[in-house]
Amino acid sequence: MFHKSLLFLALVALTVAGCADEEKTPIVTQDTLLFGAFPRLVELRTGEFDLANLQGSSYEMEVDFVDNAGGEDVSEYRVYVAFDDNTLGGGRTDFSSDSKLFRTYTPSDFTAGPNGNLGVTVTIPFTEAANFTGVPLDSVRSGDRFQIVTEVVKEDGRVFGSVNSTSAVTSAFGGIFDFNINATCPLPDDMFVGDYTLTYGYVYDEFALFGAPVQALGNEPFSRTVTLELVPGSTTRRSFDIGTYVVPGYNFAAGTVTVDFACDVVTSTAIDSGAGCGSGTIAATQKGTAPFTLTDDGTFTIEYTDFGDTDGGCGVAGKDFSLVFTKN
C-alpha cells in the first residue's frame, strides 16, 4: 500500500527542486525532447466534419517537426485512420474499423514552416476517410468519429508516437500525435465562450498527499473563473487557461485545456500538473464523455480521474471528481 508520507516527501522535494519559478516547468524540457521527434501543431484550419455538409468537409492542419535538426532528419510522417461508430442500436450495423495506414508523407512533401522547421499540411477529406475505412457516406451520424494516429520516423529508423512520448509534448510544447475528427454540429461563435466559474460537482474525500478532505484544504470551497475562447479552425472547440492544477494543495501551473462540443457530448483534453514523482507527470484525464445541451451554454459538467493512468510515477490509484462550468 502506498504510504502517504512518502508521496508527500517526493512531491515536496519536487516542489523545491523543480517548481521555484512561477511559470510551469515540465519534467521534460525541449532540449531533451530534441533527441527524438514530434509533430507540432502550427495551425488547425478545419478541425471537424460538418454534418450539414459532410461530402464537402475536410480536416486540415499544418504541422512542423521538432527534433534536433529542424525536421531535416525526418524520413516519414505516417497518418493512420480508423472509424469509431458511436451511434449503434436499433439493429444498425456497426461500421467501426481497425486503424490502418492512410497516408505517408516523405521529405518531398515537406516545406519550411513559420518556425523554421520542416513540416507538412495534412488534409483528410471526409469522403476519402469514409471510403478508406469502409463506412457508407450516409451512415455517419452525430457522435461518430474518425480516430487519427500519427508517427514520425527518423532517418535512423526510430519511430516516435504517442506510445513512446510524454504528456509534456502535447501539454507544454504543442505536439499533436493522436486526435479525433468528429462528425459534428457547428456552433456559432458566441456560444460556449466567455467567463465561466469552475466548481466541484463531486470530489474524492481524501487527497493522498495531505490525508485531509479536499474541500477542507482551503478556507472556502474550490471556485475559480476561466475564460473559454474560440479555437481557430474549429467551430466546436474552446480552449481556456485553467491556471494552477485543479486540486487544492498544488501550486503547479496547469496550462491550456481544450474542450470539444460535439452535438450532444463534450470532451476534454487532459489537465496536466506538469509535476510528478520522477516518472512523467500527474494529470487528470476525462472519465467517459459528458452530455450537454447544444442550445444552452449556461452550464455543463465534465468528470475527470486524477492520477489514474497518468500518476507521475507516484503510485496513487485513480481518484474521480467532476468540474461544473457555469457561465458568468
Which CATH number do you get for residue 154? 2.60.40
Same domain as 278, residue 304: yes
Q: How many domains does the chain have?
A: 2
Q: Indicate if 134 and 81 belong to the same structural domain.
A: yes
Task: Please state, in angstroms and rounded to a whole number, the distance separating the CA atoms of residues 47 and 59.
Answer: 5
Q: In terms of Cα–Cα distance, which of 21, 26, 8, 101 is closest to 255? A: 26
Residues in the chain: 328
pLDDT higher than threshold 70 for residue 34? no
Last residue of a domain, one of 114, 133, 165: 165
In a domain, 183, yes or no: no
Segment 44-62 mean pLDDT = 90
178 lies in a domain? no
d(Cα 4, Cα 226) in Å, to the nearest integer? 31
Q: What is the pLDDT of residue 183?
A: 87
> Do 133 and 37 sit in the same domain of this protein?
yes
Q: pLDDT band at residue 103, thresholds of 50, 70 and 90? A: very high
- At 301 the pLDDT is 97
- What is the spatial distance between Cα 124 and Cα 131, in angstroms, rounded to a whole number? 12
Q: Which residue type sits at 10?
A: A
For residue 58, being part of any structural domain is answered with yes
Domain end call among 131, 165, 199: 165
**What is the predicted pLDDT for the residue at 220?**
46
For 231, the domain range is: 4-26+188-327
Q: Is residue 173 part of a domain?
A: no
Q: Which pLDDT score, from 0 to 100, does residue 248 have?
A: 59
Residues 87 and 71 both lie in one domain: yes
Residue 311 lies in a domain: yes
Q: Are 194 and 321 found together in one domain?
A: yes
Whether 157 and 194 map to the same domain: the answer is no
Regarding whether 15 and 97 lie in a shared domain, the answer is: no
pLDDT, residue 319, reads: 84
Residue 174 lies in a domain: no
SS (H, E, C) the chain: CCCHHHHHHHHHHHHHHHCCCCCCCCCCCHHHHCCCCEEEEEEEEECCEEHHHHHHCEEEEEEEEECCCCCCCEEEEEEEEEEECCCCCCCCCCCCCCCEEEEEECHHHCEECCCCCEEEEEEEEHHHHHHHHCCCHHHCCCCCEEEEEEEEEECCCCEECHHHCCHHHHHHHCECCEEEEEEECCCCCCCCCEEEEEEEEEECCCECCCCECHHHHCCCCCEEEEEEEECCCCCCEEEEECCECCCCCCCCECCEEEEEEECCEEEECCEECCCCCCCCCEEEEECCCEECCCCCCCEEEEEEEEEEEEECCCCCCCEEEEEEEEEC
The CATH code of the domain that includes 292 is 2.40.160
Specify whether 114 is located in the same domain as 137: yes
Residue 242 lies in a domain: yes
Cβ proximity of 175 and 40 under 8 Å: yes
Shared domain check, 15 and 56: no
Same domain flag for 198 and 80: no
Neighbouring CB atoms inside 10 A of 109's CB total: 15
Query: In this predicted model, what pLDDT tens digit does every residue of 186-244 receive, in sequence order?
Result: 889 999 999 999 998 888 764 544 455 444 434 346 788 999 999 988 888 999 999 88
Span 17-43, mean pLDDT? 56
Confidence of residue 28 (pLDDT cuts 50, 70, 90): very low
Kindly state whether residues 58 and 132 are assigned to the same domain: yes
**Is residue 139 domain-shared with residue 198, that is, in the same domain?**
no
